[in-house]
């Protein structure tokens, strides 16, 4: 087995372990705006900590399924490793991937992207990529990552001002982190990943309308599709680098 395949196997193991720790945080963060984070399970038992499987004191599960979340996170990490190889930025993608899965779960459940995740992501993505840029054999540009964060954040903020009902402010705060990730591999990747996100979101909304589960004014969680578009753009950018 060559080194890239070993990297993919290791990434899958990491993803499975990290994904298994996501459900408790997803449950705690899945509350309506203005509500405090959950600190008790559905049966009323206190919840300690933020990471781990969602289980009550009596052993009953709550929140998203641990096995499914772990499997999805493992798959995401393995595919990222296959596209990136052993280049140093892979460590950044593996650290950020569980956060993307967590944000996706929360937004789908309550249509909310918590500041406690999006704001640290906006700072962590450029910082971690800055460290990757110091390592040999990296395939990206830190300056473009920084500019990507600024440009995508500014563009989403402008869209929010023009149509606040069509784009949530949580999406605006998510954009800098995604822009940094996409910008690492250049402006073409930024455009591709952004377009893919809007395409996925548009197709999802259209599908809901066609099956009569939504109307023209129905709001949908947009963050998961922005993250999915970023994932696609990142895969193509990493493979082409």
SS3 labels along the chain: CCHHHHHHHHHHHHHHHHHCCHHHHHHHHCCCCCCCCCCECCCCCECCCCCCCCECCCCCECCCCHHHHHHHHHHHHHHHHHHHCCCCHHHHHHHHHHHHHHHHHHHHHHCCCCHHHHHHHHHHHHHHHHHHHHCCCCCCCHHHHHHHHHHHHHHHHHHHHHCCCCCCHHHHHHHHHHHHHHHCCCHHHHHHHHHHHHHHHHHHHHHHHHCCCCCCCCCCCCHHHHHHHHHHHHHHHHHHC
Would you list the domain boundaries of the chain?
Answer: 3-240
Of 8-22, 53-67, 147-161, least confident by mean pLDDT is 53-67
- Mean pLDDT across the stretch 57-84? 92
What's residue 94's pLDDT? 98
Q: What is the pLDDT of residues 199-226, one digit of tens each?
A: 999 899 888 888 877 666 777 899 999 9
Give the model confidence (pLDDT) of 84-139 as tens digits: 999 999 999 999 999 999 999 999 999 999 999 999 999 999 999 999 999 999 99
The pTM of the full predicted model, rounded to 2 decimals, is 0.95
Q: Supply the pLDDT for residue 1.
A: 59
- What is the structure's pLDDT at 232? 98
- Per residue in 144-158, pLDDT (tens digit) is 999 999 999 999 999
Q: What is the pLDDT of residue 219?
A: 79
Mean pLDDT (whole number) for 69-88: 97
- Write down the pLDDT at residue 31: 95
Query: Of 220, 234, 240, 237, whose CA–CA distance to 96 is shortest?
Result: 234
The mean pLDDT of the chain is: 93
């Amino acid at each position: 087995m060559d080194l890239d395949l070993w990297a993919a196997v290791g990434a899958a193991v990491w993803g499975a372990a990290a994904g298994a720790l996501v459900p408790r945080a997803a449950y705690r963060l899945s509350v309506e705006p203005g509500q405090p984070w959950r600190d008790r399970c559905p049966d009323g038992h206190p919840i300690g900590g933020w990471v781990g499987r969602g289980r009550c004191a009596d052993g009953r599960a709550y929140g998203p399924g641990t096995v499914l979340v772990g499997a999805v996170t493992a798959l995401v990490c393995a595919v990222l490793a296959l596209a990136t190889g052993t280049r140093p930025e892979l460590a950044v993608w593996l650290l950020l991937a569980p956060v993307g899965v967590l944000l996706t779960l929360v937004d789908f459940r309550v249509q909310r992207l918590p500041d406690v995740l999006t704001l640290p992501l906006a700072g962590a993505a450029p910082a971690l990529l800055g460290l990757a840029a110091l390592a040999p054999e990296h395939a990206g540009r830190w300056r473009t990552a920084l500019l990507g964060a600024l440009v995508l954040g500014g563009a989403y903020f402008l869209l929010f001002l023009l149509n606040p009902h069509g784009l949530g402010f949580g999406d605006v705060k998510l954009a800098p982190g995604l822009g940094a990730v996409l910008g690492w591999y250049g402006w073409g990747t930024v455009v591709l990943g952004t377009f893919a996100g809007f395409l996925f979101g548009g197709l999802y909304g259209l599908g809901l309308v066609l099956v009569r589960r939504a109307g023209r004014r129905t709001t949908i969680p947009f963050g998961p599709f922005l993250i999915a578009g970023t994932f696609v753009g990142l895969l193509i950018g990493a493979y082409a680098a």
